Amino acid sequence: QKAMGFCRTKSNVKEEGKEKAVFLRKKITLVRAIALTIGTIVGSGIFITPKGVLKNSGNVGLSLIVWLACGILSLFGALSYADLGTSITKSGGHYIYLLETLGPLPAFLRLWAEFIMIRPANIAVVSLAFGRYLIEPLFAPCHAPALAVKLVTVTGVSLIIALNCWSVSWSANIQTVLAFLKMVTIGLIIVPGMMALAEGHYENFQNAFDTRSLSLDKLPLAFYSGMFAYGGWFYVNFVTEEIINPERNIPLSVIVSLLIVTLGYLLTNVSYYTVLTAEEVLASEAVAVSFTDRAFKSISSAIPVLVALSCFGSLNGGIFAAARMLFAASREGQWPPLFSLIHSRRNTPLPALLLMLPLIYLMVLIGDLYGLLNFYSFSRWLFIGLVTLGLIIHRYRHPEVPRPFKVPLFIPLVFTISSLFIVGMSLYSDPVNTGIGCAITLTGLPVYYLVVQKSRIPASCSAMFNSMTVKLQVLMEVIPQEIQTY
């Protein structure tokens, strides 16, 4: 540890005559795991992406099929990740699974893309939706100024980072409460929609499969929007080491969560189309608000606040889980060692959480929701497809590895083929944004070969880096995991 630049902090003192180990505690029960999964899946997606799914699928009927297909694909992916999570019992999600199945280079490229592009862009998309829904009612009937939205967005993200730095239990408890509120919000959309449907309002479903606006080359972008709305089913695998009885609770949490979310998403979209025409959905900047203005005016003022809280919960869950990937990579030696340290009193990965802030702020300033969505989706789904491919390869290379939860191979095979097909087609559908995403991912290659693999950092730079690490360690009161304090 001295070679890595670690030192003891002042908080490393004997507490009440007992030694206290510093590590990430197992505090995530089955209920909290379900809340984390539902809470990260149900965020801004169901409230902003119906427009993107409809626009790129071309008609109402096909858009509903896309929503169902995305739910089934997400379940297949989640079951594959549950297989990996119960056999490779480290935190870190995508990164750890790629490292263990396909090797260090794909794992590092995933880590690089996560830090440089995927995580900041994803958080920016959700947080901008949070900011817009929270202050839009204050400026009605006009649109809220872009600067005001971004200021609220930055404040919300900063608050969530601070919360996660402060306490794992607080973050988990807030996530549980917000997951319940998310389902209430979806229920407030489903109920009036189903009531209108029961009264015979089928007119918006006539010619549901009208092919006049159908464009098959745009269909992958519809799947990107749909899969974004389901994104979050993998976050429970980021915190494997903090889950109580992961062999049981990881599979149960993803199965229960995705069945609930898929049904909820389908009914929500049916409700949207029962009350709003396809043209009104495409013209709306906030579909949920347009829906309640038409169907349920008495609660229309509450919906934006509930949607904002839904986005807040998704941000909280995503940031809570994503910091564990940087923490795991640092522990594996592919990221600066500072980020494998734990706060000595709060047992939270403080450096890994703080690292995410600067690029998140940058993406928020960019502010283009759909551009950001296509921008990072290429790399995100490419590597998720590679993870499930890695599961298949790992099965053949290591048949002796115990697998408490084992899925049939056709499940990861279908998910892998679907993910890689969508990724490949997106290069044709939106070559600019996906091309930029691909190029940024590949910038990780020289970093890997020059720094990570070859360790070609000059001795003087290494000494300076170690000195800086020690100073930051003392400033943040962080120490290595499972170090005993005296």
Distance, CA of 180 to CA of 39 (rounded, Å)? 8
The answer to whether the CB of 245 falls within 8 A of the CB of 404 is: no
Fold of 30-445: Amino acid/polyamine transporter I (1.20.1740)
**pLDDT recorded at residue 407:** 93
Q: Is the pLDDT of residue 16 over 70?
A: no
Task: Fill in the DSSP letter of residue 479.
Answer: E
Q: In this model, does residue 392 exceed pLDDT 90?
A: yes
Q: Which residues pair with 484 in a beta bridge?
A: 21
Radius of gyration of the chain measured on its C-alpha atoms: 23
Higher pLDDT, residue 464 or 78: 78
Q: What is the pTM of this model?
A: 0.79
Taking alpha carbons only, the member of 386, 374, 381, 383 closest to residue 436 is: 374
Q: What is the DSSP letter of 477?
A: T
480 - beta bridge partners? 341
Contacts of 333 (CB under 8 A, 6+ apart): 452
- Residues 235-246 have a mean pLDDT of 84
What number is the average pLDDT over the span 440-465?
74
What pLDDT score was predicted for residue 388? 94
Helical ranges in 398-486 per DSSP H: 410-429, 431-442, 444-447, 459-476
Confidence (pLDDT) at 14: 40
From CA 470, how far away is CA 325, in angstroms rounded? Answer: 22
Task: Decide if 298 contacts 142 (C-beta within 8 A).
Answer: no
Average pLDDT along the chain: 80
Comparing 423 with 426, the larger pLDDT belongs to 423
- The pLDDT-based confidence of 58 (bands split at 50, 70, 90) is confident
Q: ω into residue 141 within 30 of 0, thus cis?
A: yes
Distance CA 154, CA 127 (A): 8
Model confidence at 374, in pLDDT bands (50, 70, 90)?
low
The whole-number pLDDT of residue 11 equals 42
- The listed range with the strongest mean pLDDT (135-144, 320-329, 402-411, 438-447) is 402-411
Across 318-347, average pLDDT: 77
Tens-digit pLDDT profile for residues 93-121: 888 999 999 999 999 998 888 888 888 88
**Which of 135-139, 160-164, 261-265, 344-348 shows the lowest mean pLDDT across its residues?**
344-348
More confident residue, 23 or 297: 297
For the segment 267-292, the average pLDDT, to the nearest whole number, is 85
Compute the distance between CA of residue 431 and CA of residue 424 in angstroms, rounded to an integer.
Answer: 10
299-324, pLDDT tens digit by residue? 666 777 888 888 888 788 778 777 77
Residue the block writes with tokens 């290429």: 378
The C-alpha atoms of residue 314 and residue 278 are separated, in whole angstroms, by 27
Which of 189, 240, 224, 287 lies closest to 429, judged by CA? 224
pLDDT at 71 over 90: yes
